[in-house]
Structure 1
Amino acid sequence: MRRFAALILSLVALAWSVGAAAEVRMSFHSFNGSVLFGRFPHAFVVLEGTLDKTGQPIDENYGFTAKTISTRLLNEPVEHAVEAEEDKYIRETNRHFTVTLTDAQYWQVRAEVAKWRDAPGKYYDLDKRNCIHFVGAMARIAGLRVEYPQDMLRRPKKWLNHITLLNPRLGAEPI
């Protein structure tokens, strides 16, 4: 009887640990960039893990950018795109902090990504609707406090460090 009880307890513990492992994590990244080397400063999010309800694995990333880089984006809204970064590029970026999402928050993030991606017309504006604003929308879904100081709107690393300081419960340090 003791062996049977121990087996039942082991199965319950295993089921509990498997269920507890299901989670989606959203990490917030910045890239320092360089005008001379063709990659501008950038912010984006990486989603990894497993949905709790279905067990579906998640391995995605999203960043908001101008569809075409030109001098026009300095003066006016331009066509936009939501793009995924290659794994090798992600490894070269700054990961500022990571939060855990509920399944509902994950689906909210996906809906927000679609909203930004599918917006009609010229939706990318360097000072009013850029990668920082996109990442800020994702941060708000995760329950984070977000601000957009004017002097940080073109400086993703500095801005994500600012968001880190606004949200001490993250337990993260500025980079």
Structure 2
Amino acid sequence: MGRLVTLLLALFALVWSAGAAAEVRMSFHSFNGSVLFGRYPHTFIVLEGTLEKTGAAVEENYGFTARTISTRILSGPVEHAIMTEEEKYLRKTNRHFTVVLTDAQYWRVRAEVARWRDAPGKYYDLDRRNCIHFVGAMAQIAGLRVEYPDNMLRRPKKWLNHITALNPQLGARPID
């Protein structure tokens, strides 16, 4: 009888821990970039984990950018795109902090990504609607405090360090 109880307790613990592991984490990344090597500084989100309701695996990332990189970006709005980073680039980025999302927040993030992707016309603006503004919208869905200081609008790593400081509950440290 003791073995049966032990087996049942072990089974219960396994089932309970599997349910507890069902969560989606949203990480906030920056890429230092280099004008010389064709990759400009950038910020984006990474979504990983498992949806609680369905058990579906989540492994996605999204960033907002100009469809074409050219000097036209400096003179006003240009066509936009949602981009995803390749695995080889993800390893070269700065992960600033991670938050856990509810299923409802995850679906709100996905809807917001679609809203930015499907916006009509020229939606990317270097100073008013760039990757920082996109990532800020995602951070707000997660309940984070967000600000957009003018001196950080083209400096994703500095901006994410600022967001880290605004949200001490994250327990994160600025990245050098």
TM, length-normalised to structure 1: 0.98
Question: What SS does the corresponding residue of 2:61 show, helix, strand or coil?
Answer: strand
Matched residue, 1:32: 32
What is the CA-CA distance between 1:6 and the residue it aligns to? 2.2
Matched residue, 1:19: 19
Q: Distance in 2 between matches of 1:57 and 1:122?
A: 33
Question: What SS does the corresponding residue of 1:33 show, helix, strand or coil?
Answer: coil
Q: What is the count of residue pairs matched by the alignment?
A: 175
What is the CA-CA distance between 1:75 and the residue it aligns to? 1.2
Give the letter for the 1:35 counterpart. V
Identity of aligned residues (%): 79
What is the CA-CA distance between 1:9 and the residue it aligns to? 1.7
Contiguous gaps of at least 5 residues in structure 1: none
What is the CA-CA distance between 1:8 and the residue it aligns to? 2.0
Give the letter for the 1:130 counterpart. N
Q: Distance in 1 between matches of 2:120 and 2:38?
A: 27
Matched residue, 2:168: 168
Contiguous gaps of at least 5 residues in structure 2: none
Q: Distance in 2 between matches of 1:14 and 1:76?
A: 55
Matched residue, 1:132: 132
Q: Distance in 2 between matches of 1:7 and 1:92?
A: 45
Q: Distance in 2 between matches of 1:149 and 1:34?
A: 22
Matched residue, 1:153: 153
Matched residue, 1:66: 66
Give the letter for the 1:12 counterpart. F
What is the CA-CA distance between 1:102 and the residue it aligns to? 0.8
Q: Distance in 2 between matches of 1:54 and 1:120?
A: 33
TM, length-normalised to structure 2: 0.97
**Is 1:46 aligned to 2:46, yes or no?**
yes
Matched residue, 2:118: 118
Q: Distance in 1 between matches of 2:88 and 2:34?
A: 17
Compare 1-10 and 46-55 and name the one that shifted more.
1-10
- Please give the per-residue CA displacement for 1:120-168, whole angstroms capped at 9, x wherever unaligned: 0000000000000000001001110000000000000000000000000
Question: What SS does the corresponding residue of 1:49 show, helix, strand or coil?
Answer: strand
What is the CA-CA distance between 1:11 and the residue it aligns to? 1.6
- Please give the per-residue CA displacement for 1:86-141, whole angstroms capped at 9, x wherever unaligned: 00011111110111111111111000000000000000000000000000001001
Q: Distance in 2 between matches of 1:41 and 1:164?
A: 18
Q: Distance in 2 between matches of 1:125 and 1:25?
A: 28
